[in-house]
């Protein structure tokens, strides 16, 4: 069974548009959990454009499933993570000018800082996932450096035209098989929505998908609980 990790960043994006307290990402997390989400995900970016330090602390105290903190390897964000101690962190690359995460973390190029961070988090009892492209060299390096989990970047699959998605699915399928063979847990995420989730899961078995923008977008019209429940039902019906 594939679990649903619900990314609530864009509830905070909406809140920050007016600088107030509504809508509250913690309330969204609680509704998501009550509606079938198996974990809550948030990304504390260096520029704090959506989720802020106080949100992470409040989520840690409120979430009853599990909290996964997505982050780049910025020293001040590492300090927050080591202090808050989420169940798991997910390492992503980050550029200030990007609208959203653009690609997988380069485990080869940034081998030293990633290895150091994994050692620090493991010593603190925090699991480490790394967001990577479906690439054999990256997967082998993540394994060598001691990552417990990888999240495969589904953006290229999600952004491909329906008839051109096949090679991307094949790449993801091979990457997931390689990682499982190495004993690494496999998650997937980025760009997944109500139209493309089932085709992915029928082909690529993963233990969790992390989804944010499409659910928050649907929630504007359908309500947060309904939007989460509908996504959960689509995932469950694949098995």
Other CB atoms within 10 A of residue 236 CB: 12
Please identify, using beta-carbon distances, which residue of 192 and 206 lies nearer to ligand PXP: 192
CB of 178 to ligand PXP, least distance (A): 19
Closest CA to 187 of 110, 115, 92, 111: 92
Q: Which of 10, 33, 50, 70 is catalytic?
A: 70
Please identify, using beta-carbon distances, which residue of 138 and 214 lies nearer to ligand PXP: 214
The residue whose two tokens read 């202090």 is 83
Q: Which of 10, 43, 143, 187 is catalytic?
A: 43
How many CA atoms within 13 Å lie on the side-chain side of 6? 34
Active site residue 159: no
Count of residues making up the chain: 239
Alpha helices in 85-212 (DSSP H): 111-123, 136-145, 155-159, 166-181, 197-203
CB of 43 to ligand PXP, least distance (A): 5
Active site residue 190: yes
CB of 44 to ligand PXP, least distance (A): 11
Please identify, using beta-carbon distances, which residue of 92 and 184 lies nearer to ligand PXP: 92
Active site residue 153: no
For 210, list phi and psi in degrees, rounded to 5: -110, 120
Q: Is 83 helix (H, G, I), strand (E, B) or coil?
A: helix
Q: Which of 10, 50, 143, 190 is catalytic?
A: 190
Binding stretches for ligand PXP (CB under 6 A): 7, 9, 43, 70, 92, 100-101, 131, 151, 189-192, 210-214
Please identify, using beta-carbon distances, which residue of 109 and 123 lies nearer to ligand PXP: 109
CB of 8 to ligand PXP, least distance (A): 10
- Whether the upstream peptide bond of residue 23 has omega within 30° of 0, thus cis, is yes
Annotated catalytic sites, by residue? 43, 70, 190
């Amino acid at each position: 069974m594939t679990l649903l990790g619900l990314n609530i960043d864009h509830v905070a994006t909406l809140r920050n548009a007016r600088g107030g307290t509504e809508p509250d990402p913690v309330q969204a997390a609680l509704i998501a959990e009550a509606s079938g989400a198996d974990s809550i995900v948030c990304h504390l970016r260096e520029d704090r454009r959506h989720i802020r330090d106080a949100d992470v602390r409040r989520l840690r105290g409120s979430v009853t499933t599990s909290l996964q903190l997505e982050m780049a390897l910025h020293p001040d964000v590492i300090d927050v993570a080591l202090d808050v101690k989420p169940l798991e962190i997910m390492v992503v690359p980050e550029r200030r000018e990007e609208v959203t995460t653009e690609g997988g973390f380069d485990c080869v190029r940034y081998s030293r800082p990633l290895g150091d961070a994994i050692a620090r988090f493991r010593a603190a009892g925090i699991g480490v996932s790394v967001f990577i492209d479906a690439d054999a060299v990256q997967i082998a390096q993540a394994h060598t450096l001691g990552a417990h989990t990888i999240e495969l970047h589904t953006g290229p699959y999600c952004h491909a035209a329906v008839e051109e998605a096949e090679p991307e699915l094949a790449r993801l399928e091979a990457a997931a098989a390689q990682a499982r063979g190495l004993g690494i847990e496999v998650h997937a995420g980025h760009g997944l929505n109500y139209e493309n989730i089932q085709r992915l899961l029928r082909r690529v078995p993963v233990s969790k998908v992390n989804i944010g923008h499409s659910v928050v977008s649907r929630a504007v019209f359908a309500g947060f609980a309904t939007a989460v429940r509908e996504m959960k039902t689509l995932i469950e019906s694949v098995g």
